[in-house]
Chains A and B, each alone.
Chain A
Amino acid sequence: MISHPVSISDAVTGGSFLLVLSIVLPIAGALLAFIAGGRRSEWIVLGTMPFGLGVAIAIAIAMQKSASPLVYFLGGWLPPLGIALRADGPSVVMVAITAVVICTIGVFARTEFCTPAGSVEARQPFAFWILLSAVWAALNTVFLGGDLFTLYVAMELLTFAAVPLVCLDGRAATLQAALRYLLFALLGSVLYLVGTALLYGTYGTLDIVLLSHRVHAGSATLVAASLMTVGLLAKTALFPLHLWLPPAHAGAPAPASAVLSGLVVKGSFFIVVRLWFNVMPSLPGPTAAQLLAGLGAAAIIFGSVLALRQERLKLLIAYSTLAQIGYLFLMFPLAFDLTEGRLQSGGALTAGILQAISHATAKAAMFLVAGLIYTAVGHDRISGLAGVARALPLGVFAFALGGVALVGVPPSGASLAKELLLQSVAETHQWWWAVVIQMGGIFTSGYLLLVLAHALVPADRRVAPRAPVSRTQEAAAFALALCSLLLGLVPWEPFLSVPVGISSNPLALGTLSKALWPILVGAVLAILLGRWGGRTVQMPLRKSLLIVVDPIRRRTLAFSKIIELVDDILQRWTAATVSLLLVVILLGAAMLLG
């Protein structure tokens, strides 16, 4: 258990000023870019990026050297009055991956958001670069903040920077999506704020370390815990609180979608992890953990089936984000140690964090490729993707790699996460979560194959790209996808607890074949649920297959109709907000049950 030192002299660990730097640097970038304006704002933000990346790496090295969390007390004031910045293993990992993703998106966005040659300043580039820097600063504060109120402020900064990213292009539809996002996020943050008031009233501090010593089960604490958790879930868009996500993530320009889907939702997810694992590991109880993962499982089914039914690539990716968010919450019951009655920061937590960073890199890559496809062919209808692979070979390859990494093919981060989760399943004897974990991989390969099947088909006539696609942009997307695929090879031990005997050889034949069968089942799902238009009937071989497939397909389509109907209802404001209150009550009751 971490505890606070008595005096300042032994408080500040070596290199802890880096934590301040990692927040100050992007904030300074955003402010200077705002003052400078025009083309200079782009250069200022791009100029801070290498330094920000360097600071993130330096933090990781400093923590590896000191082998303990880095702590910095702002102004030399100790908690409970002072504010601490704290970097433990998971936060170091998140800070590093955020830096990598933001910098790559920055490289990608140079083509899309450069100020046009003739003009002094254009609204879109000016806003984008400032907001990108602001998102970075807010995320670093979320990962490093040491007390619950700092986390609240950081989360609000994150929302305020993310909402304008949704409506950068200024179309009415995206403005509407941004407003929905903002209002729903605000509802979530007020719930969180009420929770912090209750906690402060009960314990007289909001510092995470001090709270973890003082916290005990009481009615006020339980109410606070459920309010805060659900407030954060609303911002993370866990099913059934996802009404804002598909229009917001699908409507934004590609680099903005990549930031929103890859990084922004991870911010509030990380605060849930902080709250459950660091502040009150013994409080929520097994029932609440099961409930949280149950919502995750529902998110996987809903998000995946809806993703398979989409006609547009960006909406497909947005719904897949919904499913992947659900996947992140599967770790909670698996991390619960029944004998000690508390959540353990062991293999399951590592799996959750790994899944989060794998998704951050892979999903950012996929959204960037979707943007490239849109630039090249002028639309993103999945049925009209034929010939795209010829026009954008590296881009489509990046999309495939990102998808393969998400499915959990070794050596991707997601495959290591899956292995860790399955090991926890075996240790805690909760076989039903193994089913859900495998289902997640199967569905992911389903919608990946659906897109690839359309993109790899040769076009009837040659597809002439409407606009030339920059090779740098393709390379940036490819780098992110590759990063996700190689995350499983990184030695995580200094930062995350990895149980022994995991992935001794990620490239062994056995592990590869284990990863292949979900892809085959996924192909069947894609055939059953996807929108194929007239394409299937053209080939004579498939005609005979269709006789077999058709009755099953009709039944699965009926099932997907029901899911689409429920989703339509949940996308309404009243239904979503009422279900938010229901989740608060359910979670509170589950915590009371223990």
Chain B
Amino acid sequence: MNAAVVFGLCGAIAIGLGLYGLITNPQPLRKILAFNLLGSGAFLFFGVVARRGAAVGLGGDPVPQALVITGIVVAFAATALAVALLLRLFEMTGAATIRADTRSSPADDPEA
């Protein structure tokens, strides 16, 4: 078992844990954390891909690393946006849940 396989398995486990957390946790903050774990697993995959490029004799493939850095920036921005929305929601309602009753929520009638 070489390093690439170990890291690949770690990536797979991180993705599995992240997916599980994203699906089962009702709290949005935990969902955001789970998304970050999921993203880390995906980034680890890119690392493995770069490493495998190196194994072919390229001396390390730099492209996946460039992709990962971009991916991290995107994931960071996504997390910031999600946390900002969550904080605002908490400020307004005193609770943070996305278990919306969709039939009534957009139907909020200012007149009624």
Docked pose: A286 CA to B89 CA in angstroms: 45
Instruction: Give the distance to chain A from B33, nearest Cβ to Cβ, in Å.
Output: 12
Instruction: Give the distance to chain A from B111, nearest Cβ to Cβ, in Å.
Output: 5
Docked pose: A164 CA to B88 CA in angstroms: 12
Q: B53, A179: Cβ atoms under 8 Å?
A: no
Q: A182, B85: Cβ atoms under 8 Å?
A: yes
The total of chain B residues at the interface (CB under 8 A) is: 51
Chain B residues whose C-beta falls within 8 Å of the C-beta of A190 in the assembled complex: 18, 35, 38-39, 42
Q: A315, B39: Cβ atoms under 8 Å?
A: no
B1 within 8 A of A: no
Instruction: Give the distance to chain B from A26, nearest Cβ to Cβ, in Å.
Output: 18
| Known contacts A172-B93, A200-B64, A312 near B107 by CB under 8 Å | yes
A64 within 8 A of B: no
Chain A residues whose C-beta falls within 8 Å of the C-beta of B108 in the assembled complex: 171, 173
Chain A residues whose C-beta falls within 8 Å of the C-beta of B57 in the assembled complex: none
- Stretch among A39-47, A246-254, A450-458 lining the B interface: A246-254
Selected from B23, B52, B64, B100, the residue in CB contact (under 8 A) with A177 is B100
B49 within 8 A of A: yes
B10 within 8 A of A: no
B105 within 8 A of A: yes
Q: A379, B31: Cβ atoms under 8 Å?
A: no
Selected from A81, A160, A179, A314, the residue in CB contact (under 8 A) with B89 is A179
A153 within 8 A of B: yes
Instruction: Give the distance to chain A from B31, nearest Cβ to Cβ, in Å.
Output: 5
Residues of chain B from 1 to 38 with CB closer than 8 A to chain A in the complex? 15, 18-19, 22-24, 26, 28, 31-32, 35, 38
0 or 1 for each of B45-84: is its CB under 8 Å from A? (1 = yes): 1101100110000000101100100110010011001100
Docked pose: A585 CA to B8 CA in angstroms: 21
A204 within 8 A of B: yes
Selected from B77, B98, B111, the residue in CB contact (under 8 A) with A379 is B111
Chain B residues whose C-beta falls within 8 Å of the C-beta of A175 in the assembled complex: 85, 88-89, 92
**How would you classify the secondary structure of chain B's contact residues: helix, strand, loop or mixed?**
helix
Q: A182, B42: Cβ atoms under 8 Å?
A: no
- Stretch among A403-411, A532-540, A573-581 lining the B interface: A573-581
0 or 1 for each of A158-187: is its CB under 8 Å from B? (1 = yes): 011001100100111111111110110011
Docked pose: A80 CA to B63 CA in angstroms: 10
Q: B45, A194: Cβ atoms under 8 Å?
A: yes
A23 within 8 A of B: no
Instruction: Give the distance to chain B from A267, nearest Cβ to Cβ, in Å.
Output: 15
Nearest CB in chain B to that of A251: its residue: B106
Instruction: Give the distance to chain A from B110, nearest Cβ to Cβ, in Å.
Output: 8
Chain A residues whose C-beta falls within 8 Å of the C-beta of B48 in the assembled complex: 201
Nearest CB in chain B to that of A180: its residue: B98
Nearest CB in chain A to that of B100: its residue: A176
Docked pose: A577 CA to B47 CA in angstroms: 27
Docked pose: A25 CA to B37 CA in angstroms: 36
| Known contacts A160-B77, A200-B64, A180 near B49 by CB under 8 Å | no
Instruction: Give the distance to chain A from B68, nearest Cβ to Cβ, in Å.
Output: 9
Q: B35, A186: Cβ atoms under 8 Å?
A: yes
0 or 1 for each of A48-86: is its CB under 8 Å from B? (1 = yes): 000000000000000000000000000000001100000
Selected from A149, A197, A573, the residue in CB contact (under 8 A) with B98 is A573
Docked pose: A156 CA to B71 CA in angstroms: 10
Q: B63, A200: Cβ atoms under 8 Å?
A: yes
Residues of chain A from 319 to 349 with CB closer than 8 A to chain B in the complex? none
Q: B82, A153: Cβ atoms under 8 Å?
A: no
Q: A201, B98: Cβ atoms under 8 Å?
A: no
Chain B residues whose C-beta falls within 8 Å of the C-beta of A88 in the assembled complex: none
A311 within 8 A of B: yes
Q: B70, A149: Cβ atoms under 8 Å?
A: yes
Q: A173, B106: Cβ atoms under 8 Å?
A: yes
| Known contacts A171-B108, A175-B88, A314-B106, A183 near B46 by CB under 8 Å | no
Q: B71, A193: Cβ atoms under 8 Å?
A: yes
Q: A247, B85: Cβ atoms under 8 Å?
A: no
Docked pose: A578 CA to B31 CA in angstroms: 15
Q: A176, B38: Cβ atoms under 8 Å?
A: no
Selected from B41, B74, B98, B106, the residue in CB contact (under 8 A) with A315 is B106
Chain A residues whose C-beta falls within 8 Å of the C-beta of B42 in the assembled complex: 190, 193-194, 197
Docked pose: A204 CA to B55 CA in angstroms: 13
0 or 1 for each of A551-578: is its CB under 8 Å from B? (1 = yes): 0000000000000000000011110011
A378 within 8 A of B: yes
Q: A194, B102: Cβ atoms under 8 Å?
A: no
Q: B45, A198: Cβ atoms under 8 Å?
A: yes
Docked pose: A69 CA to B63 CA in angstroms: 27
Interface centre among B24, B70, B81 (most CB of A within 10 A): B81
Docked pose: A200 CA to B47 CA in angstroms: 11
| Known contacts A190-B42, A201-B48, A573-B99, A179 near B107 by CB under 8 Å | no
Chain A residues whose C-beta falls within 8 Å of the C-beta of B63 in the assembled complex: 80-81, 200
Chain A residues whose C-beta falls within 8 Å of the C-beta of B64 in the assembled complex: 197, 200
Chain B residues whose C-beta falls within 8 Å of the C-beta of A183 in the assembled complex: 22, 28, 31-32, 35, 82, 98
Instruction: Give the distance to chain B from A281, nearest Cβ to Cβ, in Å.
Output: 25
Interface centre among B42, B85, B86, B106 (most CB of A within 10 A): B106
Chain A residues whose C-beta falls within 8 Å of the C-beta of B112 in the assembled complex: 379
Docked pose: A201 CA to B31 CA in angstroms: 28
Q: B74, A153: Cβ atoms under 8 Å?
A: yes
Docked pose: A171 CA to B92 CA in angstroms: 8
Q: Which 6 A-B pairs have the closest CB atoms?
A: A173-B105, A201-B49, A251-B106, A197-B45, A250-B106, A577-B23
Binding site for A on B (CB under 8 A): 15, 18-19, 22-24, 26, 28, 31-32, 35, 38-39, 41-42, 45-46, 48-49, 52-53, 61, 63-64, 67, 70-71, 74, 77-78, 81-82, 85-86, 88-89, 92-93, 97-100, 102, 105-112
23 examples of A-B residue contacts, CB within 8 angstroms: A149-B70, A152-B74, A160-B78, A167-B85, A173-B105, A175-B89, A175-B92, A179-B98, A190-B18, A194-B41, A194-B42, A197-B64, A200-B63, A201-B48, A201-B49, A204-B61, A246-B106, A315-B107, A378-B111, A379-B109, A381-B109, A571-B102, A573-B99
